[in-house]
């Protein structure tokens, strides 16, 4: 009798575990969340160690609000991590709903991407969310290791050749601004058709082929600004935010002399009807007020109508 009874108990125990596996998994995940059992890896060398008003580096990766979730998403990308798992605490009852909405909001993710170093910007971001509140973010980055190596060699040489120790920041940035424009052409074909023979949508284009769309101009300048230790990010007005047909626009923002200003290489390197190359400084280290004045004219311009709710460093600056 005992020989039959013991295996039967074991079988019933296994059956109960299998039937309640989902509940057990949920309890385990919640326990992990409440105990903050997170794996924190080392950040890479392109991580920004300063904060912005819209997103900040997360301190503990435990969310209690939508802002905390924004900060965690930003921090994962900013650290250069390929994958990261965190947990919703039981106190944050709307956590799963909020992270689902955030990770489905491609517009917000696009803007978050602009605050990180270009080498840490993602080409795709996927999130898996369990009912128990276990959230895993997987990141695929835009730049390859080879592209980074080539661009870094170019940037190091450019700074060594152009940067003058006796110049002030304004003068040196003007030299870099002019050099990039004089050695780069706007990739009209990619802008008009979405196709091109050049990798002009990131910094590799202007470095290798001298061709760029606004993304290529802005990424290259952002890489240089970070190399020179300027606090900076990219500003984007996406096509969804413009009332007429447009691919959107992206340019640079940086902090200089304790003030945030705009720098738009693309619009200082206009595509001309006569085919000649022009170099302007209308959009070089300008305030928002000066940016708007430069846009003023008979033609309606919305490409610089950025969201001050996101790029808050300019919120109270005219």
* Residue range 88-131, pLDDT digits in tens: 999 999 999 999 999 999 999 999 999 999 999 999 999 999 99
- Shared-domain flag, residues 154 and 107: no
For residues 267 and 282, the answer to whether their CB atoms sit within 8 Å is: yes
pTM of the model: 0.87
Cα–Cα distance, 266 to 154 (Å, whole number): 19
- Shared-domain flag, residues 130 and 149: no
- Shared-domain flag, residues 221 and 86: no
Average of per-residue pLDDT values in the chain: 89
- Shared-domain flag, residues 154 and 287: yes
Which residue range forms the structural domain that includes residue 222? 145-314
Q: Please identify which residue in the block is written with the tokens 């390197």.
A: 269
* Residue range 170-218, pLDDT digits in tens: 999 999 999 999 999 998 889 888 888 888 899 999 999 999 999 999 9
Per-residue confidence band for 228, with pLDDT thresholds at 50, 70 and 90: very high
- Shared-domain flag, residues 150 and 115: no
Check which CATH number belongs to the domain holding 161 and give it: 3.10.620
- Shared-domain flag, residues 150 and 136: no
* Residue range 7-43, pLDDT digits in tens: 554 454 454 444 554 454 444 445 544 555 788 889 9
- What domain count does the chain have? 2
For the chain, first and last CA: distance in Å? 88
Range in 95-99, 123-127, 135-139, 272-276 the model is least confident about:
272-276
13 domain-assigned: no
């Amino acid at each position: 009798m005992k020989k039959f009874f013991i295996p039967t108990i074991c079988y019933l125990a296994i059956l109960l575990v299998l039937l309640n596996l989902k509940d057990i998994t949920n309890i385990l995940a919640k326990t992990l969340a409440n105990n903050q059992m997170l794996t924190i890896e080392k950040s890479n060398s392109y991580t920004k160690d300063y904060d912005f008003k819209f997103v900040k580096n997360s301190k503990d990766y435990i969310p209690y609000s939508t802002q905390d979730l924004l900060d965690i998403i930003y921090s994962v990308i900013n650290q250069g991590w390929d994958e990261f798992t965190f947990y919703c605490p039981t106190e944050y009852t709307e956590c799963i709903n909020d992270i689902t909405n955030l990770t489905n909001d491609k517009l917000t993710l696009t803007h978050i991407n602009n605050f990180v170093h270009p080498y840490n910007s993602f080409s795709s971001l996927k999130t898996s969310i369990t009912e128990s509140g276990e959230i895993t973010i997987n990141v695929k980055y835009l730049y390859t290791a080879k592209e980074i190596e080539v661009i870094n060699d170019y940037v190091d040489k450019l700074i060594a050749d152009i940067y003058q120790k006796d110049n002030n920041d304004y003068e040196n940035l003007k030299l870099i601004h002019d050099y990039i424009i004089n050695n780069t052409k706007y990739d009209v074909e990619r802008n008009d058709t979405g196709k091109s023979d050049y990798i002009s949508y990131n910094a590799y284009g202007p470095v290798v082929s001298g061709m760029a769309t606004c993304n290529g101009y802005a990424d290259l300048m952002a890489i240089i600004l970070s190399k020179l230790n300027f606090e900076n990010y990219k500003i984007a007005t996406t096509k969804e935010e413009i009332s007429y047909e447009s691919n959107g626009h992206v340019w640079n923002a940086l902090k200089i002399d304790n003030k945030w200003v705009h720098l738009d290489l693309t619009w200082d390197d206009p595509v001309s009807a006569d085919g000649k190359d022009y170099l302007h400084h209308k959009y070089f280290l300008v305030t928002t007020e000066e940016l708007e004045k430069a846009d003023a004219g008979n033609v309606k311009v919305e490409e610089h109508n950025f969201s001050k709710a996101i790029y808050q460093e300019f919120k109270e600056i005219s």
